[in-house]
Amino acid sequence: MKTTAALTITAALSLLAGCGGGATTRTPAQWTEDTYKLLETQNEAIKTCYNSELKKNPKLEGTVVVDFHVDNKTGNIKKVRIDKKKTTAGDPVRKCVTQVVQDLKLTPGDTNDGQANFSWEFKANVTEAPEETPPAS
């Protein structure tokens, strides 16, 4: 009986404490939602990077699919890896994503680690200018 009580208390305390350091235990849906919110704070940074690449090549478009790991204690995003099979955009656009994402931090931490797969779709939105008219002289 004493043994049972001790084990139960130990297990319960372990679970309550989260064991891993983070106070939150997200569901997969919450992981997705929180990660979206975090990633979308970087849209402008990614767009700025993308626009600067568009100046070099206005035809840069496509999808970038990235896998990354979220450390449960710190919330740091680590091991950012391009999913080469699903990614259609070229290197310059891929770098725009990886450089921004790998420094992000999901707060608060969580009981568990996260392993995520997210994608970005890049559209150049190219508009063609009217043909230049030559100078009169």
Partner 1 sequence: MKRTLSIAALLAAGSFLSGCKTTILYEGTGPITIQGEAKAVRKKAVLKKLKAALKDKKIEINEKVQFEVNQAIIKPDSFELLNDVAQVMKENPQVKKVAIEGHASADGDDQQNLTLSDNRSKAVMAYLVTKGGVDAGRLTAEGFGEKRPIADNNTEDGREKNRRVEFNVVDDKDAKKKK
What does the binding site for partner 1 look like in residue numbers (CB under 8 A)?
A: 1, 3-4, 7-8, 10-12, 14-15, 18-20, 26, 28-29, 31-32, 35-36, 39-40, 43, 46-47, 50-51, 54-55, 58, 60-61, 63, 69, 72, 110-129, 131-137
Q: For tokens 């931490």, name the residue.
A: 109
What would the two tokens of residue 83 be? Answer: 């999913």
Residue 35's Cβ-side half-sphere holds a number of Cα atoms within 13 Å equal to 26
**Residues paired with residue 70 on neighbouring β-strands, in sequence order:** 77, 114
**Minimum CB separation from partner 1 for residue 6, in Å?**
9
Of 14 and 107, the one with the shorter C-beta distance to partner 1 is 14
**Minimum CB separation from partner 1 for residue 133, in Å?**
8
* Closest residue by Cα to residue 112 from 81, 76, 67, 70: 70
**Minimum CB separation from partner 1 for residue 105, in Å?**
17
